[in-house]
Amino acid sequence: MAKELKNFTKRSDNYSQWYNELVAKADLAEQSAVRGCMVIKPYGYAIWEKMQRQLDDMFKATGHQNAYFPLLIPKSFLSREADHVEGFAKECAVVTHYRLKNDPEGNGVVVDPAARLEEELIIRPTSETIIWNTYKNWIHSYRDLPILVNQWANVFRWEMRTRMFLRTAEFLWQEGHTAHATREEAEKESRKMLDVYADFAQNYMAVPVIKGVKTPSERFAGAIDTFTIEAMMQDGKALQSGTSHFLGQNFAKAFDVTFMNRENKPEYVWATSWGVSTRLMGALIMTHSDDNGLVLPPALAPVQVVIVPIYKNEEGLKEISAKVEPIVDEFRRRGISVKYDDADNKRPGFKFADYEVKGVPVRLAIGQRDIEEGTVEVMRRDTLEKETYPIEGIVDHVAAELDNIQERLFERALEFRNRRTIIVDSYEEFKVKIEDGVFILAHWDGTPETEAKIKEETKATIRCIPFEGDTTPGVCMVTGKPSERRVLFARSY
């Protein structure tokens, strides 16, 4: 059983299969009976809850409040913003009826044709339309602004090809929707929330990200600007991990939301929206995990330390438990989540394998001999290195190890990304190098035509125009036309 748990496909053999097996074996999620929708299992959900709690604290610290808007959106709302409907109408779930009835032929229940809705309702793919329709009633004067609201919700986009966490028809997310009196303030808000996402990704998920702006063809449907954080997975592909949109006055105009400014003149309201989703689970898993299973940064691990007793009999277990109890108490006092696994229906070897697959950052093992010698075995999940350490002072030691693991995971991921980020000047070289799974900084002439050609021929897209890095102008690698600066190309999830 222990062996079977750890019997993974290697990343180097088949990265995609490794990921699928990991999600299953670490008990994170599974396919449901509904196409494209997953069941998030308790262990996977516990990680998501840690993410939610931290993000929610950060949103509140930046002045946002939560609220809740309807799941269903009248079909006509989607059409109000021209780009928005193009982006979302093609992949939505449509509610047409409000009742079932017994099948006259006796085969369970059927849709009652008499219960057809006058106007169909769409399960929200995102909530700009229903929210701006609501804001219309909330906003009259500049005194009502800004509105800084966030919603934790499920959304639905009918996807043809789905993958656990990365792309599912239903997913969980948060969507911030803010309203402002000035363009400047809204732009500042959209950049601020991108910074919050980057802070969260780097300092809690230990995932280094590149901040930048999307090209027009990769923008959110209805946005003036879409800002993004892009992370590199271990196969060198990019994962868009969070986006923040400056929406200008597009939705205010679509839903006729104006306010009286300080000069008592009506103006359209300025808007932002920003979101991260359960997709972050995919980023977390793929950035750190290895051929032995999940590797979790301590800041987001539901269990940070597990203690496994190794004993021969009831008497031995009692002795170990007496020694472990005060240690558990001290971990808790320090705010470190700890589990003492003295279950007697599983062998230590199985427990070791299980916690390894589940990515618990530090494992302590205490046997009879440790008790005699006043020691404990410490294993770090990230390095799989074991050491024997005195029981005296073990909590301080583990606390320091947890900090070190958190830092090291980030450093390791950053080094990996840096090693795999290259500068390319010719399209020929680009086509060769992109096959290696790399981020490429290259010059582009700024046209959607060239962007589309590159995508078509190499499957690589412009992930973003980075905020930082080399801003020297040059010439487009494809057309030779002038380029303002290098942009970031990659294949992506």
**Which residues are at the interface with its own copies (CB under 8 A)?**
30, 32-34, 37-42, 45-46, 48-49, 65-79, 85, 89-102, 108-109, 111, 120-123, 130, 133-134, 137, 143, 149, 153-154, 156, 158, 170, 172, 345
Rounded to an integer, what distance in angstroms lies between the CA atom of residue 92 and that of residue 98?
18
Please report, in angstroms and rounded to a whole number, the separation of the first and last CA atoms in the chain: 33
Please report how close the Cβ of residue 147 comes to its own copies at its closest, in angstroms.
9
Please report how close the Cβ of residue 292 comes to its own copies at its closest, in angstroms.
24
Of the candidates 234, 232, 339, 197, the one whose C-alpha atom is nearest the C-alpha of residue 22 is 234
Q: Is the CB of 99 or the CB of 419 nearer to its own copies? A: 99
Q: Is the CB of 100 or the CB of 452 nearer to its own copies? A: 100
Q: Is the CB of 37 or the CB of 422 nearer to its own copies? A: 37
Residues 482, 232: contact at Cβ < 8 Å? no
Rounded to an integer, what distance in angstroms lies between the CA atom of residue 56 and that of residue 200?
11
Q: What residues have CB less than 8 Å from 162, skipping those under 6 apart?
A: 35, 36, 168, 169
Q: Is the CB of 73 or the CB of 464 nearer to its own copies? A: 73
Q: Is the CB of 77 or the CB of 331 nearer to its own copies? A: 77
Q: Is the CB of 61 or the CB of 456 nearer to its own copies? A: 61
**What are 283's two structure tokens?**
């980023």
Which contacts of 259-262 are long-range, i.e. CB under 8 A and separated by 24 or more positions? 259/139, 259/140, 259/141, 259/142, 259/144, 259/145, 259/181, 260/140, 260/141, 260/142, 261/142, 261/181, 262/142
Q: Is the CB of 257 or the CB of 379 nearer to its own copies? A: 257
Please report how close the Cβ of residue 118 comes to its own copies at its closest, in angstroms.
10
Please report how close the Cβ of residue 266 comes to its own copies at its closest, in angstroms.
20
Please report how close the Cβ of residue 100 comes to its own copies at its closest, in angstroms.
4
Q: What residues have CB less than 8 Å from 289, skipping those under 6 apart?
A: 22, 295, 359
Please report how close the Cβ of residue 48 comes to its own copies at its closest, in angstroms.
8
Please report how close the Cβ of residue 326 comes to its own copies at its closest, in angstroms.
22
DSSP letter string, 83-132:
HHHHHHGGG--EEEES-EEE-TTSSSEEE-GGGEEEEEEEE-SS-HHHHH
